[in-house]
């Protein structure tokens, strides 16, 4: 990743080992925040659908279970619904339901009311290296059925395995799939349904990026988080900031300046480095990462990467120019304000979730003072 290990000065890499958990991963742990929403079926749910061998299990394994892409070559094909509960991060709470493509929606045993009813987003995976006509008709069926049951569902189409296509071919395939899918919907009189398309592959960061976008649509507080990040970067001479779910490397929010894929990859790499360091040399094994967990890495491009723990599962990763780091005190101070504000967002969200009897997905009433970084629950 272009890390210039030769140019570190003593204080330029300040990784407090022991801050990340040793056995890093999602486990059956307690929600750490006061009044955390109840666990279970009331969480926003993501459904992962697609034909057999389209890559659903691989996506799930690579994004949420740290399996390396090559290992997915030998995965057994999916033939039942797998409920994968990703519930520990306070913001990223969802389940992935891996549903084989050949499912018959009208079969008695397929409870579509239940499955689509509580679902926030439906991801449909299409293998771009294969003939996709069958997949498209499946997509059409799934979308119309799901929309009938739940109008709020967001439909996301992953045009997957694009690592095998040339750049021209990628664009052509995307255009073709988009055209056919929207035409079919229009023919069926359902052109009010919006589909979003993403080109993905498990062999690069595109799958993480696409998942980030999907997850962000399910976070009602996204605008608040983006606003907070904007305030932090403009007051700290930071160029770009991502709020990461550390385990999956999904960014649940970023400031409103455009995302450059390379910056995102750099930040992902930094998380890997810090986790590896902590796993090898960390002293704590209680599965918690603490308040002081932080790391600065200076790159040979006079850029500095800065990582700071926000809470147990979230980290702020920033990119700044070398001269922007002169005043670390200000960065540190602004970071603390940011962290407090995030906590307030959580508390407000949880209170609201309780008030709504655990119904997920409502808006959080939050207002942010224009000059400061604190959010006051209304």
| Sites of contact with ligand GDP (CB under 6 A) | 50, 52-58, 72-73, 75, 77-78, 160-161, 163-164, 201-203
Query: Beta-strand (E) ranges in the chain?
Result: 45-50, 82-86, 94-100, 119-127, 154-160, 195-199, 240-245, 250-254, 294-298, 303-309, 314-321, 366-368, 375-377
Integer angstrom CA distances of residue 228 from 335, 341, 376: 10, 8, 12
- Cβ distance to ligand GDP smaller for residue 129 or 343: 129
Residue 327 is encoded by which pair of tokens?
A: 């005043």
**3-class state of residue 24 by DSSP:** coil
Distance in angstroms between the alpha carbons of the first and the last residue of the chain: 44
Give 179's DSSP letter: H
- Cβ distance to ligand GDP smaller for residue 212 or 295: 212
- Cβ distance to ligand GDP smaller for residue 198 or 349: 198
Alpha-carbon distance of 179 to 191, in angstroms, equals 12
- Least CB distance to ligand GDP at residue 176 (A): 19
Q: What are the backbone dihedrals phi and psi of residue 37, each rounded to the nearest 5 degrees, phi first? A: -60, 155
CB contact at 8 A, 202 and 111: no
- Cβ distance to ligand GDP smaller for residue 57 or 278: 57
Alpha-carbon distance of 227 to 18, in angstroms, equals 31
- Least CB distance to ligand GDP at residue 155 (A): 18
Give 77's DSSP letter: P
- Cβ distance to ligand GDP smaller for residue 268 or 275: 268
What does the chain come to in residues? 378
- Least CB distance to ligand GDP at residue 202 (A): 4
- Cβ distance to ligand GDP smaller for residue 52 or 83: 52
- Cβ distance to ligand GDP smaller for residue 11 or 76: 76
- Least CB distance to ligand GDP at residue 72 (A): 4
- Least CB distance to ligand GDP at residue 100 (A): 7
Q: What are the backbone dihedrals phi and psi of residue 26, each rounded to the nearest 5 degrees, phi first? A: -80, 125
Ramachandran area for residue 302 (φ above 0: left; ψ -120 to 50: alpha; else beta): left
- Least CB distance to ligand GDP at residue 54 (A): 4
- Cβ distance to ligand GDP smaller for residue 202 or 225: 202
- Least CB distance to ligand GDP at residue 79 (A): 8
**3-class state of residue 199 by DSSP:** strand
- Least CB distance to ligand GDP at residue 122 (A): 15
């Amino acid at each position: 990743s272009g890390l210039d290990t030769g140019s570190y000065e003593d204080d330029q890499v300040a990784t407090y080992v022991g801050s990340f958990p040793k056995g890093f991963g999602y486990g059956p742990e307690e929600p750490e925040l006061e009044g955390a929403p109840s666990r279970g079926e009331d969480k926003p749910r993501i459904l992962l659908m697609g034909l057999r061998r389209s890559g659903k299990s691989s996506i799930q394994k690579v994004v949420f279970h740290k399996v390396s892409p090559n290992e997915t070559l030998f995965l057994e094909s999916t033939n039942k619904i797998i409920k994968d509960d990703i519930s520990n991060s306070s913001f990223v709470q969802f389940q992935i339901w891996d549903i084989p493509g050949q499912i018959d929606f009208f079969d008695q045993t397929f409870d579509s009311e239940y499955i689509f009813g509580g679902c926030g987003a439906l991801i449909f995976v299409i293998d771009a290296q294969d003939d996709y006509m069958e997949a498209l008709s499946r997509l059409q069926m799934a979308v119309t059925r799901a929309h009938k049951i739940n109008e709020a569902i967001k439909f996301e189409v992953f045009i997957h395995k694009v690592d095998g296509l040339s750049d021209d071919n990628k664009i052509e395939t995307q255009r073709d799939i988009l055209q056919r899918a929207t035409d079919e919907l229009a023919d069926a009189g359902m052109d009010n349904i919006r589909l979003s398309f993403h080109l993905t592959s498990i062999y690069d960061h595109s799958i993480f990026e696409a998942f980030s976008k999907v997850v962000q649509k399910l976070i009602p507080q996204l605008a608040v988080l983006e606003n907070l990040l904007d305030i932090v970067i403009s007051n700290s001479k930071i160029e770009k900031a991502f709020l990461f779910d550390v385990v999956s490397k999904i960014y649940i929010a970023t400031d409103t300046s455009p995302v450059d894929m390379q910056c995102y990859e750099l930040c992902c790499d930094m998380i890997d480095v810090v986790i590896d360091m902590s796993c090898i040399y960390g002293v704590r094994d209680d599965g918690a990462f603490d308040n002081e967990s932080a790391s600065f890495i200076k790159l040979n491009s006079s850029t500095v990467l800065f990582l700071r723990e926000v809470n147990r599962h979230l980290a702020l990763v920033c990119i700044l120019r070398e001269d922007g780091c002169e005043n670390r005190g200000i960065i540190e101070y602004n970071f603390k304000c940011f962290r407090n504000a995030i906590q307030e967002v959580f508390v407000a969200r949880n209170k609201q979730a309780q008030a709504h009897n655990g119904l997920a997905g409502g808006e959080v009433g939050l207002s942010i003072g224009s000059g400061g970084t604190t959010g006051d629950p209304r």
